[in-house]
Chain A
């Protein structure tokens, strides 16, 4: 009897010891549609997929994604992977891109103007909503494109920080279009796609053209996962997951309405 117990215990202990280490992910606990604490974002879903594929259990370190995020997460060794960084990112080592999206013009389907490019003369008179990150005067490309054209008098800014004490802190700019506070907004694709489906009025999304407004104002971005610089082993494994599971990943993104180009 005792010997059976001991063997079982030993086996259990061995099994536990042999467990692979968790896949530690750093993510924003309140940033739909990307991620939240309840695992409802598409980056959460993709992280589930990756962990399953690697045969590891998933664990999270939560931190709002602000200035200093990589320094305080990946580089502080609180996690091993961040689910999304621009593929040209230098602060972390990006994997291969797993999707490519674009900033879109957002307007009301019934009455809104259909804008395709920043050269559209209507932009000088329309009320325009843009996202603001404000990080040392840097802002998403819409801000720059308007500034360069001296379109400044009719702009309404919506910080990406929003009201962090509420859920969906980034939906403000989309609600502004639906409610008629602005005529058109320029929003990063995944945000626009997700909140358009939940908007109070039907909205149209139009990818910004051309893909880049001058060399320093691209509107399309490749998105990769990010690991610590030097963590080539994990990066290679993630690259393989991305290649092998391309179709599944696309399906997840499509289900969230992410415009892919």
Chain B
């Protein structure tokens, strides 16, 4: 308000002065029309900078704030400086006041001071000082939060810039020293461009007042990059233009000295070229590239920003690549990695999931009771800022029965958002640790639990439920990120209306096309207890606004009781992130009879595949196949095995159907031997990682087969029956697990690292330093060369690792790697959640492994942070 009045007053005074002056001296005399226009332009620039919505936007967006400053310094200041407006303002005053003020200005102290201030050298220095000092983070933040100081900041930007331009254009030293003027202008362009470049390339956010993420639009880091670019490129160009004007004048003046002319032209060419090159450099090699990542083969393209120093999403990025560009830790030095800090979460149960790291804080969600611990990374030793304790319903432990793990949180709108075991979702203020909202989404009374990590997409949070074996009907739901209110729910079984299959839906394969398949592919009404839950990972493509996830097995029904395909169990589904409407679906295993949940991660990447650039979705499946789909249509491009598989010999890519071996189907009462993989699969929910630099997916996998026969007496909720006795044992090759490096473009293994003792049950992290991290169930945290698989480093932690490593930049600017160490405790052998483990002596043919696990590890609860 004050600004607008001031602007109005200024304009009014100028107008009054101009009118009086022109009336006195004649129109166009005393102050030329060009000068008046210059003032008008300058005034407009100030008005836009300070009196338009730009001012409001600059409170949220650093780029907008930068535009304000540039308008003041590079547009308004020079225009007003050359406009000679002082004279006009004087004429706004009554005659006596005018004469007195004018003579005061011309007298010694005032004029000498003014001359000194506007001497180009001095003015240049003052302006440079002002620019750099005000961009010191603490000062910038202080100005942003204190209005008076903010006014001072703008005034000093404008003032020093105006003095500088005035000195060059009109002062005593102007006009004579065009050459000097050129040098000063280019020097200004250079140092402000340098500041802009620093902002553009910095991997962390400078100003706390602009550090909070937004519900939409660019991230704070992207905002800062844009601001830096604005300071660097457009401002630089403007300054260069000004410099060129003077250069032109200088060239004209120095016509008598041709050598100088050619030197000047050379200077122009060099300046222009460096501007152009730096502009290119800025856009092509920015540190947080969607688009082509540094070091990656041509044709490789990421669909969403990957982690560059923070970890804000469960998988680090929307494409679920679990890749970070950080390379301070790399193949040359990872051998020197050591423990920097450890701290305990206080909950000795299975630790799946991963922490979030941003804003100098690490956020850890514990297994039940699902506390949220905020750790201050600026202080040594895991100093806790606060702990949020949601106190979920303790009955959920008994009802959930097997898994009290939590797979992590997501960050959005200033809040850490995650699920509780009792099927509530909570949002906690990331600064204060206070609960912002809590929403009951599922019904623990009906056996529904939540263990998966939610994902924040624009203004929504998307969650999925667990509990298929309790008869729960699977769905994904979207909650409003601000209020927690449930916006929509899309089921995975039932009529099209429930599944949100509508006119926009098109399944690629005929087997997945038809009306209400979620009902008709089951005997009547069975879809109501149809499982198909969502307890794994969700990925998102910002360009098409689609999210992708896989569904679990068909619920409580024996396979023989549910003839039909049983849609949409064991499927990969693509949905619109705004409405939940299904875009396409592909059922991986129709009529599952092996418990092959397909809730695994879906990695999104664009690359050259099969001869042309394709938008891919890569899904390493429970079934032992790596599925590569076109994520626009759901077409299956390839299905090749990464572990021994015999339930099917392959997939028909034309029909999308697996070629199953009927002798490997399970039927109650029938002995079926040697089914590979076992029910626990070649891979479970623990997630893979992808490196765009190598083009490899790093898959943590299992090698187990099973014999299926029904002879075991069992008893659930007081009801006796004979259940299947399933023996599991090591598959061909004799190794329990592998870290498989899968070459996506060539559909084959590039290399593998075999683990003899235990299946690999941890997530994987890939980094720009070409290092891949993963952990083993007996407690080894390992680093491999991402290209060759050579083991470069390992460290034994306090408990087996079933969690997913992350990497980030600490407040000191150094790279760290963090992972949880905590194998499943008394509430369950986390490694095999799907085995009927009531009887630890039966069934588990990997008895050899699981019985021995106690020799190798015990329950734990430690967060490890490694660094150089």
Contacts and interface: CB of A to CB of B under 8 A. Distances in A.
A187 to B, nearest CB: 9
Interface in B552-574: 555-563
Interface string B397-430: 0110110000000000000000000000000000
Q: Is the interface of B mostly helix, strand, loop or mixed?
A: loop
Interface string A80-112: 000011111111000000000000000000000
A141 B722 contact: yes
Contacts of B726: 136
Chain B interface size, under 10 / 10 to 19 / 20 to 34 / 35 or more: 35 or more
Nearest to B840: A71
Contacts of B444: 164-165
B470 interface: yes
B471 A164 contact: no
A148 B724 CA distance: 15
B483 to A, nearest CB: 25
Contacts of B502: none
A28 B398 CA distance: 9
B399 A66 contact: yes
Interface in A134-178: 134-141, 143-144, 146-148, 152-157, 159-161, 163-166, 169-170
B173 to A, nearest CB: 85
A137 B445 contact: no
A218 interface: yes
A70 to B, nearest CB: 5
B557 A138 contact: no
Contact of A161 (B471, B562, B713, B827): B471
Contacts of A69: 401, 838
A72 B839 contact: no
The size class of the interface chain A forms with chain B is 35 or more
A218 B499 CA distance: 39
A194 to B, nearest CB: 11
Contacts of A64: 395, 398-399, 401, 717
Contacts of B445: 163-166
A65 B716 contact: yes
Interface in B4-61: none
Contact of A133 (B561, B593, B716): B716
A148 B669 CA distance: 10
B800 to A, nearest CB: 18
B471 A135 contact: no
Contacts of B529: 132, 134, 157, 159
Contact of B721 (A75, A139, A159): A139
A161 B446 CA distance: 7
A135 B716 contact: yes
Given A134-B557, A163-B445, A221-B720, 7 more contacts: A67-B837, A68-B837, A90-B839, A132-B556, A152-B561, A161-B470, A216-B668
Interface of A: 28, 31, 34, 62-72, 75-76, 84-91, 131-141, 143-144, 146-148, 152-157, 159-161, 163-166, 169-170, 188, 190-191, 214-218, 221, 223
B842 interface: yes
B712 interface: yes
B669 A216 contact: yes
Contacts of A214: 669
A148 B670 CA distance: 11
B691 to A, nearest CB: 36
Contacts of B714: 86, 89, 133, 135, 138
Contacts of A217: 669, 722
B828 interface: yes
A134 B561 contact: no
Interface stretch (B373-381, B518-526, B649-657, B773-781): B518-526
Contact of B718 (A65, A91, A153, A166): A65
Interface in B229-288: none
B860 interface: no
Interface in B679-695: 679
Contacts of A70: 838-839
A216 B722 contact: yes
Nearest to B524: A153
B75 to A, nearest CB: 66
B718 A134 contact: no
A228 B468 CA distance: 30
